[in-house]
Each structure stands twice: as structure tokens, then as C-alpha cells.
Structure 1
Amino acid sequence: MKRFTQAILPAAILAASLAGGAAVAQTGAPAAQQQPPAMQQPAAIPNPSDAQLEKFAGASQKVAMVAQEYRPKFEAAPDDAARQEVLREADEKMVSLVRADGLTVDEYNGIGQAVQQNPDLQQRVQEMAPDAVAPTR
């Protein structure tokens, strides 16, 4: 499914949030839960505008809520196939929320990468939305 392979936070980020913030590659998650290398390392947007950061801050809050909503479903899934289905559902919901906030998947990923790498951007995002979650590696 093309949408699944282009998703923002499908297996890699959702699994990272489920693992308490550790990256999937570092947790030893099954390969079926990992994204291709290109999806794990989005190209950073080095200087996102205030408008982009505001959209990111709002979207990241919503994405974090979806991750929290799907965590128990993921953990309760009886097998890999069921876990993949939970990830697919969460992925679709996250993509929809990001797009509803006016960002493309690539923009969201790129801003997230920049925020990870730049403490000043992290601070700006936190000021825009105190409950916003900075993406984890």
C-alpha cells in the first residue's frame, strides 16, 4: 500500500513511542515493524518558518495522542499480523491528522528531523504548544 510506505510515523515512530522513546533500530524490533532506511531518516528542513513550526506543534500533539491511543492495542495484539494491522490503522490516522493541520508527510518529517537536531527549534516548538512532543529518535 503506497500510503503506508509514505507514512509519517508508522512503524518506526509509533514503535519508538511504544518503546519509551528509543528508536526502533535500537530496540531490536522485528524487521516487519521497521521502515526502509530512507523513511527512518527524513531530510531535515533546516529553517522552518514560524507557521510551519506552529503546524508541526499542533500536529505533533495529535500524533502523540494517537500513539497513546494505539499503545494498548499494539501491546495486546496476539501476533505480528495483528500488530501490523494496529500500526496500519494508527498510521492512517496520523497521516490524516498531519494533513488536516496543513502539512505534508514530508514536511512533517523534515520539521521533526530539524527539531530533533536543533535545541533552539525544540524550544520554539515547546513555546508554541507546551504539550507538544518533540519527535524521538
Structure 2
Amino acid sequence: MTLRINLAATLSGVALLAASFGPAIAQDAGTTAAPEQPAMVAPATDFSDAQIGAFAVAYVEVMEIGMAFEQQMQTAETDEDLTSLQFEAQQQMVAAVEGIDGLSVDEYNAVLTAAQADPALAEQIQDEVDTLLAE
């Protein structure tokens, strides 16, 4: 099996991002002011080998969680069931990333964003992922 850094990875990153900001957004739901948007910052591409290795481990775990929930989400009978499954998947993805030593959700998303903009970084990550999957 080969995982490629692609739209699925983007969605995983978005899911993690949404999950990490979910409580803050829920708290703001009662106010009339729109939530403040974070400033767009160019992604850093100078990640250490340890950061890339940690990202690769987390990436594989996040993708496995996503694949495990995919069929359940496709067969969800109601919107409530789908929302519940999405929330559960997001929580498991966040827990997987936070369970990796030296990696936070923000760092995971930063590496993911940088890899989408930097083909050399994406290739380096893909090599790490391929090595993990070959074990």
C-alpha cells in the first residue's frame, strides 16, 4: 500500500485544524462578532529530520484512522450519524498526533502545509512514509 501526500492529506490536516479550533468556535457561536481570522503566514520549510520523522508517523496514523472511518461515514443513515462519526474521527486523529513525542497538531498542520508548497519536502516525507509502511 502506498500513501501519497495529496487531497486526502489536506483533508486530514483540515480535519485536525477544525478539531483543534472546534471548542473555541463553539464558544464564539453565541456572540454576534465574527471570529478573528489568523494571518496567513508562509509555511516554514526548515524542519529537522526528527520533525519530519514524527510527522510521517503521525501522517500514517491519521490516514489509517481516516480510512477506518471512511466506510462508516459512507453508510451513515442520518446527518447526525455522519456528524458524530466525523467528530469521533477528528478526535482520534488529534489524539494520534498529540500522542507522537515532539509533535503538536499545529506542528503537524505546519509540516503538511509546507509539504504541499515544497515538492522536495513532500518527497522527503513520502520517503519516510514509504519506509514506515514497508516495516
Please indicate the TM-score interval, normalised by the length of the shorter structure.
Answer: 0.5 to 0.7
- Distance between the aligned counterparts of 1:83 and 1:93, measured in 2? 15
Unmatched 5+ residue regions in structure 1?
A: 1-6, 14-35, 133-137
Q: How many residues align?
A: 103
Q: Does residue 117 in structure 1 map to residue 117 in structure 2?
A: yes
Matches within 5 A, 1:44-123: 44-102=43-101, 103-123=103-123
What's the offset of the Cα at 1:9? 4.3
Say whether the 8 Å CA contact 1:63–1:97 is kept in structure 2. yes
The match for 1:10 is: 15
Change in CA separation of 1:93 and 1:127 when aligned onto 2, cut-off 3 Å: same
Compute the TM-score of the two structures, normalised by the length of structure 1: 0.64
What's the offset of the Cα at 1:81? 1.4
Unmatched 5+ residue regions in structure 2?
A: 1-11, 19-34
Deviations for 1:94-114, whole angstroms, at most 9, x for unmatched residues? 011101112111000000000
What is the DSSP-based 3-state SS (H/G/I as helix, E as strand, rest coil) of the residue aligned with 2:130?
A: coil
- Distance between the aligned counterparts of 2:80 and 2:56, measured in 1? 32
The match for 1:17 is: none
Q: Does residue 126 in structure 1 map to residue 135 in structure 2?
A: no
The one-letter code sitting in structure 2 at the alignment partner of 1:117 is: A
Say whether the 8 Å CA contact 1:8–1:106 is kept in structure 2. no
- Distance between the aligned counterparts of 1:124 and 1:45, measured in 2? 15
What is the DSSP-based 3-state SS (H/G/I as helix, E as strand, rest coil) of the residue aligned with 1:113?
A: helix
Change in CA separation of 1:42 and 1:60 when aligned onto 2, cut-off 3 Å: farther
> Structure 1 vs Structure 2: percent identity of aligned residues?
27
Deviating runs (4+, > 3 A) in structure 1?
none
Say whether the 8 Å CA contact 1:11–1:87 is kept in structure 2. no
Change in CA separation of 1:9 and 1:66 when aligned onto 2, cut-off 3 Å: farther
- Distance between the aligned counterparts of 2:67 and 2:96, measured in 1? 15
- Distance between the aligned counterparts of 1:60 and 1:11, measured in 2? 11
